[in-house]
Amino acid sequence: MKIVVIQGPNLNMLGVRERNIYGPMKLEDIHKQMKGFADQNKVEIEFFQSNLEGEIVDRIQECVGDADGIIINPAAYTHTSIAIRDAISAVQIPTLEVHLSNIHQREEFRHKSLTAAVCAGQIIGMGPFGYHLAMVGMLQILNEIQAMRQAQAAREQTQANA
């Protein structure tokens, strides 16, 4: 099982920028915690961060055939990027959206997520812990998909033997 974590613009500045909103934890520290959880659960994890919309779209598309799930924080692109939304929709890979802050408690323009509608779920306002919740949620989603595939294969085998 492989999960790709995609981080949007300015998240490379965590721990430095607007600590009153995003907290003191650096992105590398969040990734280290996620890696530890992934290792405990025998899941491969890969991290990607870009400030460029096209690079994020490219990375989402590269997940086809390479990843089982995506955890994404599109950051500011959440509210503006139809391209990222369309890429998530196109790849048909379970995706969870994460935001450190509660976007509904912030400026009006941040209240609308263009990407949420094509994601399996959205975790907001939990700070760095939101990424842990996303890992737990993604493992549950992937385990359910695996169980459904196994049940379908068993049904098909039963029908073939009948």
**What residues are annotated to the active site?**
22, 99
Instruction: Report DSSP state, residue 48.
Output: E
Cα distance between residue 7 and residue 49, in whole Å: 4
State the amino acid at position 47 in one-letter form: F
Nearest to 48 by CA among 33, 58, 38: 58
Cα distance between residue 48 and residue 16, in whole Å: 19
User: What is the per-residue burial (b if ≥16 Cβ within 10 Å, else e) of 69-108?
Assistant: bbbbbbbebbbebeebbebbeebebbbbbbbbbebeeeee
